[in-house]
Structure 1
Amino acid sequence: MKGVKPLILAGIVAASAAVHANDLDKVIDKSSEINKSAAQSQTKIDKIADSMQGRLQQFKTLNKEIDGLAVYNAQLTKQLNNQIEEMESLNLSMDQVSIIERQITPLMLRMIEGLEQFVSLDIPFLADERTKRVTSLKEMMNRADINSSEKFRRVLEAYQVEVDYGRTIEAYTALLNVDDKEREVDFLRIGRLELIYLTRDGKKAGSWNADTKSFEALPDSTISQINKGLRIARKQLAPDMLTLPVHAAE
């Protein structure tokens, strides 16, 4: 009987060891499940973290775009306000242009009338050309296809042509009644100081007398100087001093 107790004790130990081993396996299995679950959870957490990081980066990018749009909108607002101011200024200018246009038309008409009177009272050089210029200006004023600024430019241009006549020397050929006979003559215009003619045969000469409104004969002694003046005006001679009779202005 004494030999039985050790066997029973050994059996109990073996059974206890088996129980413990079984429990340990369960614990290990459970631990593995926990680790696996923890790994899966960590994976989910990592995915969530990556997603959050991406969204955070997207949020920052959107914020930068919003800031940029805010600056852009502010600039557009300034430009829009400036355009509104420009439109108001243009509207005001257009109103003023309409007022000026109504005022400038009568002014141009008076200028053309004054130019016509001036040509008729001036020494009679290039009479046809100057008269046609005035007539053209009158016809222009009745045309609707030419704006006021262009009309005013042409009127000023005509005045400038007349101004230039006063400081130039010119030679041209035209018809003139000499001794009750229409003849072709060479005219020499020296500014507005003197208008002289010389017949093509070089035998008769005369100058315009503003007091009598007619041409008066000049002595034969002046013919050589007149010929010289004609050649200078035609750029056939270099400019030089001329000795010609001049009607003194009163």
Structure 2
Amino acid sequence: MTKVINKSKIAAALVGMFAIAGSATVAAQQISTLQNEEAKIHTADKRSQEKIDSLFEQSQELLFEYRRVVDEYENLKVYNDHVQRLVDDQNASLASLQRQIDGIEATKQGVVPLMYKMIDALEQFVQLDLPIHKESRLERVARLRDIMGASNVTTSEQFRQITEAYQAEMDYGAGLIAYEGKLQFGGEEIAVDYFHLGRVALLAQSTDLKNGWIYNNNSGEWEALDDSYLNSLTQAIRMARKQTAPDLIKLPIYAAERAE
């Protein structure tokens, strides 16, 4: 009886051992399965992290590219605004030049008739004035008329030469002036020294100092000068040529008429 019980205990123990061993095997299989799953999870997590890192890098690159494009846009906008201001200024300058050109044309329409009137007045003045270098002065007037009909002479140049002619006429009315020339008197051509005190008086003296004449602007004729003035005239001519010191002299005077 005792032997049977002992055998039963041994069998039970063996069964228990086999049961424990089977449980351990199952547990080991489960643990291995869990480890495999965990490994897969870690692998998936790693791949996910790699994707996240890749997407982050791409987003950073896109952000940098966006900022670069924005900066480039701002620079281009500043440059375009600058160019636009230059274009606007050039357009304003062109418009101003066009207005000036239009104004010049309008001015020329008023200046050209004025220049013809100035030439006519200058010629009339020379005809009425003392005959100081009369021929050369009338030749100057003729040249002015010629340039008014010259297409290759600009309006500004025409006006400049007219004003220079007026300036030359003004110079004749200043100071003591003496010059050599020929005098037509009594049907003869006489070598003389002309002398004029501005436009106050015009006289002439023969080069041998024996005869003198005075121009009467009222009659437009030369008249013989009284011998009493010959020495004074000689003195005046020398003063004009700076051959002697200035001094008081006595000479007859005829007042010149003004051009109307």
* Same structural fold, with TM-score higher than 0.5 when normalized by the shorter chain: yes
Q: Which secondary structure does the structure 2 equivalent of 1:197 belong to?
A: strand
Q: In the alignment, what sits opposite 2:143?
A: 136
Alignment match of 1:231 (pick from 241, 244, 252): 241
Per mean C-alpha deviation after superposition, the further-off stretch among 85-94 and 48-57 is: 85-94
Q: Which secondary structure does the structure 2 equivalent of 1:109 belong to?
A: helix
Query: What's the TM-score, normalizing by structure 2?
Result: 0.76
Query: How many residues were matched structurally?
Result: 246
Against the structure 1 CA distance between its residues 27 and 194, is the aligned structure 2 distance closer, same or farther, given a 3 Å change threshold?
farther
Alpha-carbon distance between aligned partners in 2 of 1:168 and 1:39, rounded to the nearest angstrom: 114
Alpha-carbon distance between aligned partners in 2 of 1:237 and 1:61, rounded to the nearest angstrom: 91
Q: Which secondary structure does the structure 2 equivalent of 1:177 belong to?
A: strand
1:159 aligns with 2:169: no
Alignment match of 2:123 (pick from 110, 116, 129): 116
User: 2:178, 2:237 within 8 Å by CA — same for their partners in 1?
Assistant: no
1:58 aligns with 2:58: no
User: 1:225, 1:242 within 8 Å by CA — same for their partners in 2?
Assistant: no
Where structure 2 has 5 or more consecutive residues not aligned to the other structure, the ranges are: 1-6
Shift of 1:171: 3.2
User: 1:198, 1:226 within 8 Å by CA — same for their partners in 2?
Assistant: no
Q: Which secondary structure does the structure 2 equivalent of 1:247 belong to?
A: coil
Where structure 1 has 5 or more consecutive residues not aligned to the other structure, the ranges are: none
Alignment match of 1:221 (pick from 231, 245, 259): 231
RCO (CA 8 Å, sep 6+): is it higher in 1 or 2?
2
User: 2:179, 2:193 within 8 Å by CA — same for their partners in 1?
Assistant: yes
Deviation readout 1:164-206 (Å, 9 max, x if unpaired): 3222443332222356432333333332222233333444333
Alignment match of 1:44 (pick from 51, 54, 78): 51
* Equivalent position amino acid for 1:172 in 2: Y
Per mean C-alpha deviation after superposition, the further-off stretch among 115-124 and 98-107 is: 98-107
* Equivalent position amino acid for 1:161 in 2: A
User: 2:216, 2:222 within 8 Å by CA — same for their partners in 1?
Assistant: yes
Q: Which secondary structure does the structure 2 equivalent of 1:211 belong to?
A: coil
Per mean C-alpha deviation after superposition, the further-off stretch among 112-121 and 212-221 is: 212-221
User: 2:206, 2:212 within 8 Å by CA — same for their partners in 1?
Assistant: yes
Shift of 1:142: 0.7
* Equivalent position amino acid for 2:152 in 1: D
Aligned-pair identity in percent equals 30
Alpha-carbon distance between aligned partners in 1 of 2:93 and 2:135, rounded to the nearest angstrom: 49
Query: What's the TM-score, normalizing by structure 1?
Result: 0.79
Against the structure 1 CA distance between its residues 106 and 223, is the aligned structure 2 distance closer, same or farther, given a 3 Å change threshold?
closer
User: 1:166, 1:191 within 8 Å by CA — same for their partners in 2?
Assistant: yes
Instruction: Spell out the pairing of 1:200-215 with structure 2 (5 A cutoff).
Output: 200-215=207-222
Q: Which secondary structure does the structure 2 equivalent of 1:249 belong to?
A: coil
Shift of 1:112: 0.7
Against the structure 1 CA distance between its residues 222 and 21, is the aligned structure 2 distance closer, same or farther, given a 3 Å change threshold?
same
Alpha-carbon distance between aligned partners in 2 of 1:193 and 1:56, rounded to the nearest angstrom: 96
Q: Which secondary structure does the structure 1 equivalent of 2:241 belong to?
A: helix
1:175 aligns with 2:187: no
Instruction: Spell out the pairing of 1:12-51 with structure 2 (5 A cutoff).
Output: 12-51=19-58
Deviation readout 1:24-55 (Å, 9 max, x if unpaired): 34433433333333233223222322222232
Alpha-carbon distance between aligned partners in 1 of 2:145 and 2:124, rounded to the nearest angstrom: 13
User: 2:179, 2:195 within 8 Å by CA — same for their partners in 1?
Assistant: yes
Q: Which secondary structure does the structure 2 equivalent of 1:132 belong to?
A: helix
Alpha-carbon distance between aligned partners in 2 of 1:21 and 1:246, rounded to the nearest angstrom: 156
* Equivalent position amino acid for 1:247 in 2: I
Which structure's CA Rg is the greater one?
2
* Equivalent position amino acid for 2:154 in 1: N
